[in-house]
Amino acid sequence: VDERAPAGVGTILVTGATGTTGRRVAARLRARGADVRVGGRHPERFDGEPGTAVRFDWHDPGTFAAAVAGVERLYLLRPSGSGADAVDRMHRFLVTARGEGVRRVVLLHSQVTGAAGTPEIPAAVRREMPEWAILCPSWFMQNFTGDHPTATALREHGEIATATGNGRVGFVDADDIAAVATETLLSAEPSNRHHVLTGPETLSYPRIADLVTDITGRRIRYVELTADELTARWVAAGLPEPLARVATELDLAVNRGEYDYTTTAVEDLTGHRPRSFAQFFRSHHRRD
Ligand SMILES: NC(=O)c1ccc[n+]([C@@H]2O[C@H](COP(=O)([O-])OP(=O)(O)OC[C@H]3O[C@@H](n4cnc5c(N)ncnc54)[C@H](OP(=O)(O)O)[C@@H]3O)[C@@H](O)[C@H]2O)c1
């Protein structure tokens, strides 16, 4: 793993730079001496160096060309939504980016397979860009902290409620995702591969409830929901119903054990072991 950005790497635009992974990617790239531009709907909110923030809004294609002008590499979040509209926006943006000289895209995708994962989005990146990496992370450990509905329920009601039963997933720390993104953005040779990113072990949600109970000393209950109950909760949390149904389907796939596996990708690409959930939550709890 290189200590510094290799000479000759051009400007890197980080999209979603106010978000969970983008914030960490931008910080890591800057620490490595890379020339970083950050993009978001409200560039005035960035407190980085002047001139490095640009307006980038998936719902305003007029922002696309200026955001990528002079950019060589991109950390890219996908547009929200799972339909044809998201695929069209992505395609349009990639064509603009390629026309402006972007060569490499590191896409934050997900571990989710099948139609729910919108495979057309990584396919567009592979088709339009000469250099790419598709990051396919498992569920984020950060879903249990911050603003995520799972975290809110944990804090406010002392409960974790899912339809996953004893199904397990390889929860991954967003900091490890950012470390992989940084390496794949800065590497001299492009990866041109999909990388499924997991933590070091798979855990069930009931097991997470026990771990959080041990770490915080507060009794956290695991509540098993039916599919309909879970969909209703997502809708109440503000998700449109079709997306709420997709989210519920994911829980059912977890319940069937479809995501019960880990990979060595984080260690292979960064040289360090991914953080375990207990390590992650302990350090989060100490900070609060
Ligand atoms: N949570 C999980 O367990 C999990 C697992 C696997 C994959 N993922 C994927 O991770 C992605 C989310 O990444 P994240 O957690 O790093 O981000 P996040 O914390 O959810 O933040 C979303 C970011 O997107 C930006 N954004 C929102 N609307 C936008 C728009 N219309 N145009 C341009 N930018 C917009 C926001 O920036 P501004 O507000 O500054 O515009 C913000 O920085 C999703 O695609 C999700 O599918 C999540």
Cα 33 to chain center, whole Å? Answer: 23
Structural contact between residues 246 and 108, judged by C-beta atoms closer than 8 angstroms? no
115: buried, middle or exposed (CB in 10 Å: 19+, 13-18, 0-12)? Answer: exposed
Nearest Cα to 93, choosing from 83, 81, 105? Answer: 105
pLDDT tens readout for residues 196-223: 999 999 999 999 999 999 999 999 999 9
The better pLDDT of the pair 83, 20 is held by: 20
Ligand 1 touching residue 279 (CB < 6 A): no
Structural contact between residues 86 and 118, judged by C-beta atoms closer than 8 angstroms? yes
Provide the edge-to-edge strand list for the sheet that holds 104-108. 53-55, 36-40, 11-14, 71-77, 104-108, 131-137, 194-197
At residue 5, does pLDDT exceed 90? no
Ligand 1 touching residue 150 (CB < 6 A): no
pLDDT at 54: 96
Residue 108 has which token pair?
Answer: 């934050």
Q: Assign 3-state DSSP to the chain and report helix, strand, coil percentages, each to 5.
A: 45, 15, 40
pLDDT tens readout for residues 152-179: 999 999 999 999 999 999 999 999 999 9
Ligand 1 touching residue 18 (CB < 6 A): yes
- Work out the end-to-end distance of the chain between its first and last CA atoms, rounded to an integer number of angstroms: 32
pLDDT at 51: 67
How confident is the model over 249-277, as a mean pLDDT? 98
At residue 287, does pLDDT exceed 80? no
How far does the centroid of ligand 1 lie from the alpha carbon of residue 57, in Å? 12
At residue 133, does pLDDT exceed 80? yes
Structural contact between residues 164 and 250, judged by C-beta atoms closer than 8 angstroms? no
Structural contact between residues 159 and 220, judged by C-beta atoms closer than 8 angstroms? yes
Structural contact between residues 247 and 180, judged by C-beta atoms closer than 8 angstroms? no
Nearest Cα to 8, choosing from 35, 37, 42? Answer: 35
User: Hey, what amino acid is at 273?
Assistant: R
Q: Spell out the alpha helix ranges (H) of 100-166.
A: 120-128, 149-157
Ligand 1 touching residue 170 (CB < 6 A): no
Q: Which DSSP category does 141 fall into?
A: G
pLDDT at 41: 96
pLDDT at 115: 85
What gap in Å lies between CA 67 and CA 188, rounded to an integer?
24
Structural contact between residues 274 and 198, judged by C-beta atoms closer than 8 angstroms? yes
At residue 144, does pLDDT exceed 80? yes
Structural contact between residues 189 and 176, judged by C-beta atoms closer than 8 angstroms? no
At residue 2, does pLDDT exceed 80? no
CA dihedral sign, ordered 263, 9, 190, 16: positive
For residue 77, the ligand 1 atom closest to its alpha carbon is: 45
The better pLDDT of the pair 180, 50 is held by: 180
How does residue 3 score in pLDDT terms, banded at 50, 70 and 90? low
Helix (H), strand (E), coil (C) string for 59-74: CCHHHHHHHHCCEEEE
pLDDT tens readout for residues 27-68: 999 999 999 999 999 998 887 666 699 999 999 999 999 999
pLDDT tens readout for residues 84-114: 899 999 999 999 999 999 999 999 999 999 8
Looking at the whole model, is its pTM more than 0.75?
yes
pLDDT at 46: 83
How far does the centroid of ligand 1 lie from the alpha carbon of residue 211, in Å? 27
Mean of the per-residue pLDDT values of the chain: 94
How far does the centroid of ligand 1 lie from the alpha carbon of residue 16, in Å? 6
Residue among 13, 14, 15, 20 whose CB has most ligand 1 atoms within 8 A, to mutate: 20
What gap in Å lies between CA 44 and CA 144, rounded to an integer?
29
pLDDT at 252: 98
